[in-house]
Structure formats: structure tokens, C-alpha cells
Amino acid sequence: MENENANPGNLIDLSHIVEDGMVTYRGLPAPIICDYLSRKESRARYAPGTEFQIGKIEMVGNTGTYIDSPFHRYADGCDLSELKLESLANLECVVV
């Protein structure tokens, strides 16, 4: 059933910055954000004049702004890639 009052122009971005070591939820491990390969380390591995950085992010799936798919709770539920984008916005809700 389509929400007649839905207005795609009224979406609110709930994203926030996640930083290394930041406690995002008590009891879950903090994210680790670091270099997988630093610019200095890359110089030793590649041709002269070639350098780059490859970042590494390690965090539990429930960190930051996220969506629980049915798979989170049910082993045979669909995962996030199977959810239609239209099913995730302009939903009726109660804000307390």
C-alpha cells in the first residue's frame, strides 16, 4: 500500500561520522580505522614514484546508521541486497 502523504523531498539524513575507537553502542567493540597499507609502506612495494594509501575499517555490522534486514534476526530471511530501496523510505512511523 503506497503512502499518499509520502514526499521524497522530506527525507532526513541520519548519517553520522564514525571514528576510530568511538563507542557506538555499549557492549559492542569500538571500530578500528587504520591504514592497511600506508603511503610509506607502499613505496617499498611498488615502482619508484608510486605511492598510495589503502585504508582498513573493522567494525561490527551494527555500527553507525544501519538497516537491519530480516536476515539479522532470521537465518532464512532476505539480506540487505534483497530489499527494494522503495521499501526503506517514506514509511509511516511514530516519532517520540
Q: pLDDT of 48-90, one tens digit each?
A: 999 999 999 999 887 766 777 888 888 899 988 898 877 887 7
Burial class (CB within 10 angstroms; exposed 0-12, middle 13-18, buried 19+) of 37:
middle
pLDDT at position 34 is 96
Q: pLDDT of 4-22, one tens digit each?
A: 555 556 667 777 788 999 9
- Distant-in-sequence, close-in-space partners of 90: CB < 8 Å, separation ≥ 6: 3, 6, 7, 8, 11
Residue 2 or 66, more confident: 66
What is this structure's pTM? 0.58
pLDDT at position 1 is 46
73 within 8 A of 22, measured Cβ to Cβ: no
**Domain range annotation of the chain:** 8-88
Backbone angles phi, psi at 57, to 5 degrees: -125, 125
The type of residue at 42 is: S
